[in-house]
Structure 1
């Protein structure tokens, strides 16, 4: 025999039903308005005088299917590069942020170097960093110089490491100093305080901007094509050069969007969860 501890009243059931009807109504209105706007945009674009030429130059199904396998092979390189570069950039950003929070005059040179690094690579355009590392370092003719793919990935790591360092530093500084003082009063060392008290809270608070930077990195991995590796963008460029048709670029762009959708969904979910947790705490 089951006993209902908290029976639902008629008024509460009515409120739940009303909210459900309002949600369904909002979804239907949003879908209808989206369909209307989409139809108007499609009519405006397809009714333009030069639509036939644009359709043939950018949206040719034959060209798309012809170069899709090569672009997919190149996209697999982008995915692997994204995983490696994101991991290394997060580690580098966390290290730089930790170095910038060191206290005491003896650590001033370390803080100065970390600050100079973040200022420099946040100000340099990523394309220039890729050119410097992918073509400048091989020009030194040093033994053991890695290939352009590794150098292009290194350019992504050092650039995004600077941005992520500032995100981590903001999270570290958001932890109230009283928590550090309490941890030190309990006998924890600075390293133990950072590891067990500060960093867990800091990373949780800045998880949404970290994921946003990861989405941005997912797009920018296509810039390694400037160094020469045949990724999705380079494969599309080869197709454009062979057929004098821009459809391969559209194919590569669609694949990048599909690749970003899961990351964007996770980012939105984490952001919403953090907002709910903050509102519940307040």
Structure 2
């Protein structure tokens, strides 16, 4: 019986090579079809807009390049205020949201008051629109005269934290409850306390399960920080409003919108990447 040389180079079979060639052809065909259809769609939509009777008026009112250039510095300076509020609010929401999720996961009748308090908080602030919370915190609390003179941007940040911590706490709680009970039992059998079990075992696994949802909440918060302008904060939206009133033109709002898109786009792409990676990992770990 003839033996195969050990040093013989392995090569795919002709059948496998044919399959690879077919997959490459299908991929190329799909890309070309997607490219052509996208170009056709853009051309049709662009032609419909540019040929509409009111396009020239819309262009002057919303897409004036000179006004966009003139208003850009002030709107960009206002965007820095939004970024500062976003960073502070993100840290505070992470801390308060985690605390609420832990309180709602406490077991035993002795912790019922804490669970009830956390439940009422999340139900309340998930039900009230953020705009109303901004009015209540930004105008109602200062009217009490308890805290003296506080910058209005701080009240806006507090309102955002109160609202989004309720959303984030429910997302985190869902992730913690998705951790299999055997993980808790195994941790307690090793001598870990309830707090250590939450901190070392449950919370890390729960966070990994809800990373895409948490990142989506962060993207939503990136947009909603612009609502602090209703309190009089000169952020990007308020700066655009001032410029629009100065030039009698809506172009500054388009500039502000593009800046918010530029701020949110990296996180949106990162969210999609993380979601796809987690989905791929779950598929690899299971039976498809």
> Which TM-score bucket, shorter chain as reference?
over 0.9
Q: Decide whether the 8 Å contact of 2:142 with 2:148 is kept in 1.
A: no
Distance between the aligned counterparts of 2:44 and 2:85, measured in 1?
39
Paired position in structure 1 for 2:284 = 280
Does the residue aligned with 1:103 lie in a helix, a strand or coil?
coil
For residues 235 and 20 of structure 1, what CA distance do their matches in structure 2 show? 51
What is the CA–CA distance in structure 1 between the aligned matches of 2:173 and 2:232, rounded to whole Å?
35
2:80 is aligned, of 76, 80, 92, to: 76
The number of residues matched between the two structures is: 280
1:268/1:6 Cα in 2 relative to 1: closer, same or farther (>3 Å)? Answer: farther
Specify the SS of the correspondent of 1:220.
helix
Cα deviations across residues 205-243 of structure 1 (Å, max 9, x unaligned)?
Answer: 000000000000000010011111111101100011111
Q: CA deviation at 1:181?
A: 1.1
Name stretches of at least 5 consecutive residues in structure 2 with no aligned partner.
Answer: 1-6
2:138 touches 2:155 (CA, 8 Å); kept in 1? yes
Q: Deviations over 1:143-187 (max 9, x none)?
A: 455211011011001100000000000000001111111111111
Which residue is 1:172 aligned to? 176
Show CA shifts across 1:47-87 (max 9, x none): 11111111111111111111011111111111222122112
Q: 1:5, 1:154 → 2: CA distance?
A: 67
Q: For residue 3 of structure 2, what is the aligned residue in structure 1?
A: none
4+ aligned runs moved over 6 Å, structure 1: 3-6
Q: Are the structure 2 counterparts of residues 33 and 253 from structure 1 closer, same or farther at C-alpha, using a change threshold of 3 Å?
A: same
**Conserved 8 A contact 2:172-2:207:** yes
Counterpart-to-counterpart distance in 1, 2:210 and 2:277: 12
- 1:142 is paired with a residue whose SS is coil
What are the residue-to-residue correspondences of 1:175-190 with 2, within 5 Å? 175-190=179-194
Q: Distance in 2 between matches of 1:50 and 1:82?
A: 38
| TM-score, structure 1 normalization | 0.95
* Contact kept? 2:134, 2:160, Cα under 8 Å: yes
In structure 2, how many angstroms separate the alpha carbons of the residues matched to 1:4 and 1:278?
37
Tell which deviates more after alignment, 224-233 or 15-24: 15-24
Partner of 1:270: 274
Larger Rg over CA atoms = 2
* Structure 1 position 20, deviation (Å): 2.7
Match of 2:4 in 1: none
For residues 218-275 of structure 1, what are the alpha-carbon distances to aligned partners after superposition, in whole Å with 9 as ceiling and x for unaligned? Answer: 0001001111111110110001111110000011111111111101000001110111
Q: Within the alignment, does 1:65 sit opposite 2:52 as a pair?
A: no
Q: Which moved more, 1:199-208 or 1:133-142?
A: 133-142
Decide which of 227, 232, 239 is 1:223's aligned counterpart: 227
Distance 2:22 2:74 in 1: 52
Structure 2 CA distance for partners of 1:271 and 1:48, relative to 1, 3 Å: same
Query: In terms of mean alpha carbon deviation, does 84-93 or 202-211 score higher?
Result: 84-93
Matches within 5 A, 1:65-144: 65-144=69-148
CA distance in 1, matches of 2:20, 2:102: 48
Runs of 5+ consecutive residues of structure 1 not aligned to the other structure? none
